[in-house]
Structures are given as C-alpha cells and as structure tokens.
Amino acid sequence: MSNVKELLDAGVHFGHQTRKWNPKMKEYIFEARNGIHIIDLVQTATQIDGAADFLKGVVAKGGKVLFVGTKKQAQVSIKETAETTGQPYVCERWLGGMMTNLNTIRKSIKRMVELETMESDGRMAEFVKQEQSMLRRELNRLHIRLNGIRDLNSKPDAMFIVDIKREHNALAEARRLRVPVVAIVDTNTDPTLVDYPIAGNDDAIRSIKAVLGAVTQPMIEARAAYDATSEKLKEEVAKKAEAPAAAEEAAPAEPAVEKPAETVAEEAPTEAAPEAAAEPAEA
C-alpha cells in the first residue's frame, strides 16, 4: 500500500469547504474540521495502488496514457511525470477535439514539425524578417499546445486527469470514446464519472506531485520491461531473417549441367547394289 504518512505530509487529505462538497464523495471523507472536509487517506492509498496497477498494465502492453492537467498547480508535475514515463501530455490548454477529432489535430502537428524542420535546416532564414517573426510565433504557439501529443497517432489507452471539473471537456471526450480514466477527485467532484478515482487534494502542488509520484515508478518499470521485450523480439526476427540468407551463401554452388552438343549425323556412304551373279557356263 502507498505510504499514508507521505500523503499526509503532502496535504493530500485536505478537501474543499464543507458547503462546496459533492454528496457522492461522502464515502471518502473522514471528517469535517473547521469547515473543511478531511479525506480518508487509507482509502486514498488503496485507490492509488489500484490505479497504479491498472496504469502499469496499460504501459506493459505498449499502451499510451495521456496525462492532462492545465491548471497552474498541475502543469509542471504533469509534464515531468509524462516525460519520465514516456507518455503524452496536455498541460497548457485542452483543444476541443484533441481525441474525438484527432485527424484535424494531427494536421496542426504536421505543420509544427514542418516549421521545426524549416528552422533547423535554415530555410526559415530565407524569408524576410517580418515573415520569420510570424512563422516563429506560429511555431511557438503550436509547440506550447501540441508538443506533448506530437507522437499520439490514435486515441490513448487510458487517461490521467488532475481536476475533472476544470478538465470537463477532456473527460467528456474520454467518456465518449470509452477511454478509461484515472483522476484525482476532490471533495467537490463526482467520483462516479471516472473509472479509477483517487480521492485527494487537487489544488495543491505537493499533493498533486505526491499522487503522480506514487503511480510513476510502476509505469517506469513496466515501460522498461516492454522496451526490453520489444528489442529482444526485434533481434530474434532479424536473426531469423539473416539465417536463410547465410545458409544460402554457405551452400556450395551446384555444378552446371552441360547439355550434350547436338552433332549432325554423318551420312553413311551409299553402297552400290551387288550385281547379279553370273550364271555358270554350261559344260
């Protein structure tokens, strides 16, 4: 089980004011103190373990987990966690259709890559300064919004969301596409909207970082195991492909069978027909 003391030190147990609570969070609330709901961290620790096992299973199969958290308190932790685990992320702004209209989003990503190439190979410098400035502003805007999902070519296999009230559009798209969702749910949210709720403070940097950190290590281990297995399979396939070629080169060449030369039959000399034997003379 996750360390309850570490969660306590990070302030994961602090919920919202009691007047802002969602009754569906009742089972995860330990008590109310000074007008603030206190979350039951024993349940939170259990939820973290369940979510971590689920995400580990997704990554172990080569699946993608999209991390989403655009509020200021979550941006850095979301980006660091996603980069550490090799997963896509959105930490600036959720663009409508990021999942439900991914083909259109991919066109913008293609444009971003094109501008990056122009910058690196010097073609951008061929434009006048005003055009260069416009192109760089466009690149910067695209990079901020889309760099985290540049390698996302299809819908993710799971999503991790910080603050489902703020990220309601992302949650709606995930539910529409039936993408399993793991989320930190505070006392003012509806935990039934997600598949793997983690009751906790979604407003404090330390709290968000603590929860993300708890699910990171299993994902890193799963990713390393998956990469190692994939590399081994590639090597085996390469060896199998090389084996027939090597055997063919090693085999002695079969001697060429020469066809016998066709000879023109010599014409047999024509023998003269024997002359009739002379009759014996009469005595």
Q: Which long-range contacts (CB under 8 A, 24 or more apart) does 253-261 make?
A: none
DSSP readout, 111-127? HHHHHHHHHHHTGGGGS
How are beta strands 196-199 and 14-17 bridged, if at all?
Answer: unpaired
pLDDT of residue 18: 94
**Residue 99 carries which side chain, given as an amino acid letter?**
M
**Do you know the residue count of the chain?**
283
The amino acid that residue 228 corresponds to is A
Beta bridge partners of 39: 29
User: What is the torsional sign of CA 101, 104, 106, 108?
Assistant: negative
Looking at residue 281, its pLDDT comes to: 46
The values of phi and psi at residue 256, to 5°, are -70, 135
Cα→Cα distances 164→3, 54, 86, 173, 238, Å: 24, 19, 23, 12, 46
Task: Select from 221, 209, 196 the least CA-distant residue to 44.
Answer: 196
Q: Contact, 160 vs 219, CB < 8 A?
A: no
CA distance 173 to 156: 11
SS3 157: coil
Amino acid at 107: K
Q: How far apart are CA 253 and CA 141, in angstroms?
A: 64
Q: Residue 117 and residue 111: Cα distance in Å, rounded?
A: 10
Q: Rounded distance, CA 162 to CA 188, Å?
A: 13
- Domains in the chain (CATH in brackets) are 4-98+155-229 (3.40.50.10490), 100-151 (1.10.287.610)
CA separation for the pair 194, 13 (Å, rounded): 20
Closest CA to 63 of 181, 233, 237, 222: 222
pLDDT value, residue 3: 85
Residue 89 CA, chain-centre distance (Å), reads 11
- Cα–Cα dist 6/10, whole Å: 6
CA angle 138, 140, 142 (to 5 degrees): 70
- Please tell me the distance from the alpha carbon of residue 79 to that of residue 1, in angstroms, as a whole number: 25
Please name every residue paired with 65 in a beta bridge, in sequence order, or none if there are none: 158
Q: How far apart are CA 45 and CA 197, in angstroms?
A: 11
Distance CA 89, CA 97 (A): 15
Query: pLDDT below 70 — which residues of the chain?
Result: 1, 243-283
- The answer to whether 174 and 181 are in contact (CB under 8 A) is yes
